[in-house]
């Protein structure tokens, strides 16, 4: 059969956010995929000219709702580096706790959407039900459910009381139990395997060459995680990146599933070792200079470039989000796949398009 070009997106039932793919299809098999962007650009980086560097924290949190805490943390780390302030140890641990809670709820959200993409509605509902507990923890500890607004330059704005810590641990026990109950479904279920095993294979070499990031990279056998840089309190926590070697959609699902459980463990460790002391230091003055800061987000490595000129407005703010890095691998994994698998594969890189376009 001759070639047909099928437009996929920007409006498509499987896509939570708009991305367009021009799929060249021959007999239901994808031959080429060309992505196109620009549907949700909001110009957040440009806002740095209008909002001062403190107010920008609330702006960068909105680059991506679901990893808002980690965006703000990365931005604050950059400014703290420029202004030569050291966050108190307790503040660093609290940042780890909230950032790992964010990772858990982001992965749970994704696991649900992923199950939904191949039509496994009940798993979708289960994961989202579990996620509610994490959102409740966020609301009870930080004040808001998703965009928690806990970061400030120099530390965190909220503290955790011992009773809150106990409550979090108790809730996490439930979360862990409920997530583990779904383990056999994610790793052994006929439907899940049929739709994901061997689909969209990204070999180790391809992942490396194309610059994949986060779980997409780790599912291809490369143990790289920015938390290994030991920012904040990660130097005191036991942590090994989760790696799978198959590089298919199934492996990417497994990596995220295991990371959810790992993050629960990291929160527990952080709470157990939470030192006493202040949660923030007062900062004076204005930032000056250039800095590049990297953190690990649920979707992979996120990079902030900040250029400050000694006034309260930044000269330049540039954000490279993980989905941006994962688009070339996506375009490379689609050729050879059936058209019906495309939604699952797009979901398998955990695309966050609002992040990508900012």
Q: How many CB atoms lie within 10 A of CB 119?
A: 12
Cis omega (within 30 of 0) for bond into 30: no
147 vs 349 by CB, closer to other proteins: 147
Residues in contact with other proteins by CB under 8 A are 51, 54-59, 62, 125, 129, 132, 136, 139-140, 143-144, 147, 149, 157-158
143 vs 277 by CB, closer to other proteins: 143
The nearest distance, CB 53 to other proteins, in angstroms, is 11
46 vs 84 by CB, closer to other proteins: 46
CB 314 within 8 A of CB 306: yes
The nearest distance, CB 51 to other proteins, in angstroms, is 6
15 vs 72 by CB, closer to other proteins: 72
48 vs 353 by CB, closer to other proteins: 48
The nearest distance, CB 58 to other proteins, in angstroms, is 4
The nearest distance, CB 45 to other proteins, in angstroms, is 15
204 vs 312 by CB, closer to other proteins: 312
The nearest distance, CB 293 to other proteins, in angstroms, is 20
The nearest distance, CB 277 to other proteins, in angstroms, is 20
């Amino acid at each position: 059969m001759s070639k047909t070009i099928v437009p996929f997106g920007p409006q498509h039932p499987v896509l939570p956010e708009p991305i367009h793919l021009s799929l060249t299809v021959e007999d239901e098999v994808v031959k080429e995929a060309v992505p196109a962007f620009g549907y949700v650009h909001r110009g957040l980086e440009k806002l740095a000219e209008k909002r001062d560097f403190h107010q920008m924290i609330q702006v960068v949190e909105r680059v991506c709702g679901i990893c808002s805490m980690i965006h703000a943390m990365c931005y604050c780390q950059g400014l703290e580096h420029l202004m030569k302030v050291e966050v108190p140890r307790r503040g660093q641990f609290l940042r780890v706790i909230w950032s790992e809670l964010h990772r858990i709820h982001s992965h749970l959200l994704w696991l649900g959407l992923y199950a939904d993409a191949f039509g496994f509605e009940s798993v979708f509902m289960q994961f989202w039900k579990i996620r509610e507990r994490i959102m409740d923890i966020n609301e009870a500890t930080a004040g808001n459910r998703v965009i928690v607004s806990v970061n400030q330059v120099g530390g965190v704005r909220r503290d955790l009381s011992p009773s809150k810590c106990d409550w979090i641990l108790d809730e996490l026990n439930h979360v862990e139990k409920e997530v583990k109950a779904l383990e056999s479904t994610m790793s052994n279920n006929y439907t899940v395997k049929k739709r994901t095993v061997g689909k969209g294979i990204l070999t180790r070499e391809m992942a490396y060459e194309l610059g994949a990031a986060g779980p997409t990279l780790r599912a291809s056998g490369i143990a790289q995680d920015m938390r290994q840089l030991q920012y904040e309190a990660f130097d005191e926590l036991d942590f090994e990146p989760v790696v799978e070697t198959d590089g298919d959609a199934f492996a990417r699902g497994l990596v995220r599933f295991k990371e959810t459980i790992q993050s629960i463990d990291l929160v527990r460790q952080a709470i157990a070792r939470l030192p006493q002391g202040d949660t923030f230091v007062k900062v004076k003055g204005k930032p000056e200079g250039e800095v590049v800061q990297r953190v690990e987000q649920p979707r992979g490595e996120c990079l902030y470039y900040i250029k400050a000129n000694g006034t309260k407005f930044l000269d330049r703010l540039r954000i490279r989000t993980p989905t941006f890095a994962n688009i070339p691998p996506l375009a490379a994994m689609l050729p050879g796949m059936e058209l019906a698998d495309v939604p699952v594969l797009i979901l398998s890189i955990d695309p966050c398009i609002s992040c990508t376009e900012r």
